[in-house]
Structure 1
Amino acid sequence: MGFFYDKNAGIDSLKVDAQAFDYIYKVRRTSDDNLLEFRNLKDDNIYVYRTDYLEKKSAMLKLVGSEEKPTKGVGISIGWCVVDPKIIEKTLPMLNELGVTNIDFIYSQYSQRNFSIRTERLESILISSNQQCGRSDMMSFEIFDSLEKWVKAQNGFMVLDFGGEILPKDIAKHKFLIGPEGGFSEEERVALAKQADNIYALDTKLVLKSETAAVMIAGRYV
């Protein structure tokens, strides 16, 4: 555990609610003289608290210090055509640990429209992931209801798709577009060939799942 999260971290007296109380004092077996590090994920500070007093299902903590300690994402941005939300939720912690800064979720022609992206659920997953890996900022999301609208909003992007030239090992950071299960439609491929800065493929003869491609792209910059 890199730190504990509380949106109010930074105030002089911080109340720990029942859920966090159970984890801190029962699961982690924290003693009341231990120093506890908190982040609010809105700034880059670590806030250090000491237990002031314990109640049956809560605790009051007293701020004893703080330190600016940024551990941010590395500036990777991905356009990810929508796949099953269960797959997204499972993959998100890995992308978070690899430093992805932003994900645009795009409903392309082969994305199933009945899949709904619950951003509040994704934010909860990210908070847990940040606490584990120590990241100090929150990944951001945006949702686009068509690939056409997403393309119009971009200043430049590259596509990861079958048939492109092999992705160089030393390629600079860039926004990458990754297709859904089944890839892009022929109509989308024709349009992307004109709109994208370049179309790349990974150096493998294996067929990769959409989430595997996303992790491999993010892993290039770690």
Structure 2
Amino acid sequence: MSTIPRLFVKSDLALGAPLALTSEQANYLFRVLRLAKDDSVRVFNGRDGEWRAVVTEAMRSAGFLRLEELIHPQKLMGDLQLLFAPLKKTCTDFVVEKATELGVTMIQPVITKRTQSSTVRVSRLEKIVEEAAEQTERLDLPLVQDAKQLLEVLGKWDSDRRLVFCDEAGDDPAQDWGGNEGRAKPMLEAISELEDGLAAILIGPEGGFSPEERKYLRQQSYVVPVTLGPRILRAETAAVSALTLWQAARGDWR
């Protein structure tokens, strides 16, 4: 891994083009990292690959780079989406950060009956995504969507995209966690049986899905119910576990 600092930028990137830094980026490069004129910086924008640039002007709260060399051409990523019920602030931040590290291409917060928080600041989550992409050598950024009601999202669902539904309940509401009847297959087994194609993973809130939500999901032809094992995981742990299993079995870890 290169030790040259790496920044996400929004500008178009082309050989020889000048690039203005934001005050936050200038502060990071020139006050924190102590870079100076003619030092190298790596930049990417999610569209034009990764470039090596050099510092042409370094000021306390501003600066300019010049694009010198294309290091890595833009690559197509796999198409894996994450739907999750927003959690408390730090837990939501954790899920978004780890989803970015694990190669998710779209993040959709969904509001369920038992969702803890319906407030999602997309601008803050986009900043978390940018920082995680900078650190993990991604050439792209996942799209962060505004929070929507789960049934609204499913009402517009593309049935060609499999929805891996992390379903830890059984069918008997009179027993703890629904008893043993109606339990889903272990995730690794279930996803190994799928054909290649578009996919998304759905993680519910702490407390799980309501019986009505679970019934609706189970009735959809595109839904693949799975379990993540004998223990009830925290929602943020479930998200990381499910994404890890997918990338190992069906994704870009192979």
Tell me the TM-score range normalised by the shorter chain: 0.7 to 0.9
Higher relative contact order (CA 8 A, sep 6+): 1
| Structure 1 position 71, deviation (Å) | 5.6
The counterpart of 1:157, out of the listed 145, 159, 163, is 163
Distance 1:80 1:32, change over 3 A: same
Structure 1: how far apart are the matches of 2:48 and 2:13?
A: 11
Structure 2: how far apart are the matches of 1:6 and 1:144?
A: 25
**Contact 2:100–2:132 (CA under 8 A) maintained in structure 1:** yes
Which residue pairs with 1:115 in the alignment? 118
CA deviations over 1:70-110 (Å, ceiling 9, x no partner):
36643221221232233111221111111011122111111
| Structure 1 position 9, deviation (Å) | 5.2
Aligned residues: 219
SS in 2 for 1:100: coil
**Contact 1:44–1:71 (CA under 8 A) maintained in structure 2:** no
CA deviations over 1:158-180 (Å, ceiling 9, x no partner):
31111312223562563222211
Structure 2: how far apart are the matches of 1:9 and 1:179?
A: 38
Which residue pairs with 1:215 in the alignment? 240
Distance 1:146 1:53, change over 3 A: closer
**Contact 1:71–1:134 (CA under 8 A) maintained in structure 2:** no
Structure 2: how far apart are the matches of 1:185 and 1:39?
A: 42
Which is strand-richer, 1 or 2? 1
Q: TM-score, normalised by structure 2?
A: 0.76
Which residue pairs with 2:199 in the alignment? 174
Q: TM-score, normalised by structure 1?
A: 0.86
**Contact 2:85–2:115 (CA under 8 A) maintained in structure 1:** yes
**Contact 2:82–2:99 (CA under 8 A) maintained in structure 1:** no
The counterpart of 2:45, out of the listed 27, 40, 43, is 40
Runs of 4+ in 1 over 6 A off after TM superposition: none
Structure 2: how far apart are the matches of 1:185 and 1:36?
A: 49
Distance 1:72 1:92, change over 3 A: farther
CA deviations over 1:151-202 (Å, ceiling 9, x no partner):
2222142311113122235625632222111001111222222125331111
**Contact 2:37–2:55 (CA under 8 A) maintained in structure 1:** yes
Which residue pairs with 1:201 in the alignment? 227
Which residue pairs with 1:190 in the alignment? 215
**Contact 1:21–1:57 (CA under 8 A) maintained in structure 2:** yes
Which residue pairs with 1:101 in the alignment? 105
| Structure 1 position 8, deviation (Å) | 2.2
| Structure 1 position 127, deviation (Å) | 0.8
Structure 2 unaligned residues grouped into runs of 5+:
169-182, 248-252
SS in 2 for 1:129: helix
Which residue pairs with 2:173 in the alignment? none
**Contact 1:85–1:116 (CA under 8 A) maintained in structure 2:** no
Q: RMSD between aligned alpha carbons? A: 2.4
The counterpart of 1:80, out of the listed 60, 77, 84, is 84
CA deviations over 1:102-136 (Å, ceiling 9, x no partner):
12211111114x53011111111111111111111
Note if 1:147 corresponds to 2:150. Answer: yes
Structure 1: how far apart are the matches of 2:204 and 2:69?
A: 46
SS in 2 for 1:157: strand
